[in-house]
Amino acid sequence: MLLPLPDGDFKAYLFDCDGTITDSMPAHYRAWCAALGEWGAEFPEELFYAWGGRLVVDIIADLNERQGLSMPVAAVAARREELFQELLTEVEAVPGVLEHIEASYGRIPFAVVSGSTRESVTASLTALGLLDRFEVLVCAGDYARPKPDPEGYLLGARLLGVDPADCLVFEDTDLGVAAAEAAGMGYSRVPPPWAR
């Protein structure tokens, strides 16, 4: 089923990656639980989805603080990424978003704006055979302020050479939608896995 789009003559599409292009959130959650479990940390599923769009390092730091732990942030982040990469064969594209990509590819430019690492985004898109569809990848480390700050989306628009008001964002999280709105962009909300 094609996702409904807001009215407008958009000149570029900007996509979040995890949970938007790729139905990867269940795999990410499994990787998180396995990596954190090695340190005795817990990450309730409800909190995982509420924190969708946040940077991995910020999540680990906040879990340390909440649970009185001292997990090494870089090591846990690397382990989570390693475990996620092992699950990539299970990841599929989100059908309603994939249809928009296929219908508009070559007609307007696309960018990915993600809070995930470039390694993770590239691996996910490569696994789905979609990496070549995106002219621009804006990933964790490319911008200083994560969603809901609009910085990532504004950078994506600038790299595509398109005015923010002419961009349409595809997002699955509240933080991402807030970032799109703050950037002055239209958006299409991608429903969570249980609502598709």
- The active-site residue out of 7, 9, 16, 62 is 16
- 16 in active site: yes
Nearest to 12 by CA among 106, 86, 88, 124: 106
Helices (H), the chain: 25-37, 45-50, 56-67, 73-86, 95-104, 118-127, 151-160, 174-182
Total Cβ atoms within 10 A of residue 2: 11
The partner residues of 190 in beta bridges, in order of sequence, read none
What span, in angstroms and rounded, lies between the C-alpha atoms of 115 and 110?
17
> What residues act catalytically?
16
